[in-house]
Every structure is written in C-alpha cells, then in structure tokens.
Amino acid sequence: MENKKVIIVGASSGIGRCLVYKFSQNGHEVGMAARRFELLKEISEEIDTKSYIRKMDVTKLDDARAKLKELIEEMEDVSTIILNAGAGRRNPKLTWEDEKVAAETNVMGFTALINTAFHYFKEKRRGHIVGVSSIAGLWGNRYGPAYSASKSYVSKYLDGLRNKSIHNGLNIDVTDIVPGFVDTKMAQGEHIFWKASVKTAADQIYKAVKKKKKRAYITKRWGIIAF
C-alpha cells in the first residue's frame, strides 16, 4: 500500500500552497511548514485530509531542523519531503541585504533541511527528496547574482545526494524541480515570458514527483532553454 504522507516546506503561498491542495486532493496527509503560521492554519482548515503544521523560518537553522524533525515524528512515517522554501528578487543595485537573504535561505536553509531529510530517509533506507531550484540557476544573472548562484547550488547538491543514494544502495529518490517563470511575487519585472499559472506549475510538479523524475522543468518548454 502506498505511503501517502508528504511534508512541504514553504507551504503558505504560491507553488507550495497549491501543492498542498494537489496532494490533499489525491489522498495524501500533508505536513506544512512556513513562516506565516496563520496562513498554514487557513490551509489546514480548507483541505480534507489530515494535516500537520509548524511555524518555520529556514534561516534559523537549528530551529528549522528541529521543527522538521518534529513534523516527521508526529506524522510517523513520511514518504516524501519537498523543500520549496526560497528567497530572491531582482537586485540590480546589488544591495547586501537582498544578496544575504537569498544566500541564507537558498543555501544555508536549504542545506540544513535537506541534510535532516536525507538522514531520516537513510535510516529507513527509502524515501523521496524533492528540491525546487530554478531555471535561473543555469547561468549567472546580473539582476540577482546570489539568487542564480544559490539555485545552481540547489541543483548540484541534489545531484550529489542522488549519486550518494545510488552508491550506498539507499533507495532514496531525489528530484530536482526546475521552474521557469511562474505567476508568483518572485516572477516580476521586465522580460518575463512563458509565465505559467501556479496551478499549472503545481500540476506538473505533482506528476513529476509521482513519477520520481530526476529533473523536471516547469513548464516543460523550459527544457529547451536548458538544452
């Protein structure tokens, strides 16, 4: 029988929120974590399946790791952990604060949580880790160097974990979700094209996760750019 328990970090809005509804509609119990606890409570009341929520700031590394472990323990047997939390925006003036937020969230926060997830699944010798990188990680972006660099880091880290799982015979699937422009607050400004709705993105991500793909471009046409 399929284990239908998933944790989504970065679940309060955008793609993460839409993924909660998508997984719930397909019978999954959902663990949710994000900074905006009130939004998580709203979502929890709207979905039909059992849910679990934690307030989490991924830049508070030790606390975020502890909160993820609490969710795992409460849910008892989690099959999939999706790390969707991310930060970044256009930063043409290269302000330190904006670069700092992107690096702290997308590198340090991501690493802290994916390390926790990997060790949990390592003990079980099975599981599925899903990370959300970005098409921006394919090249250095002058409008947001820290964001593009940090998303490249996410993809390479996921590649490393996949190789580690295979080498050690752990049966841990690792999926890199690579979105292009999606209609969220992060996809703003000039030169925005091929912008997908959040629902379309979530639908394609859900299918990629269920198929346990190594890498999925969202939407699929972004694979042309990657090639």
- Report the predicted TM-score, pTM, of the whole model to 2 decimal places: 0.91
Measured in whole angstroms, the distance separating CA 163 from the mean position of its chain's CA atoms is 19
- Per-residue pLDDT of the chain (227 residues), as tens digits, is 677 999 999 999 999 999 999 999 999 999 999 999 999 999 999 999 999 999 999 999 999 999 999 999 999 999 999 999 888 778 889 999 999 999 999 999 999 999 999 999 999 999 999 999 998 888 888 888 999 999 999 999 999 999 999 999 999 999 999 998 766 655 444 555 557 788 999 999 999 999 999 999 997 776 777 67
Q: Which amino acid is at 167?
A: H
For residue 46, the cross-strand partners are none
Q: What structural domains and CATH numbers belong to the chain?
A: 5-226 (3.40.50.720)
1 three-state secondary structure: coil
DSSP 56-101: --TTSHHHHHHHHHHHHHHHSS--EEEE--------TT--HHHHHH
The confidence score (pLDDT) of residue 106 equals 96
Q: How far apart are CA 226 and CA 219, in angstroms?
A: 12
- What are the strands of the beta sheet with 215-218, ordered from one edge? 51-55, 29-34, 5-9, 80-83, 127-132, 172-179, 215-218
Q: Which contiguous run of DSSP H or E holds residue 226? A: helix 222-226
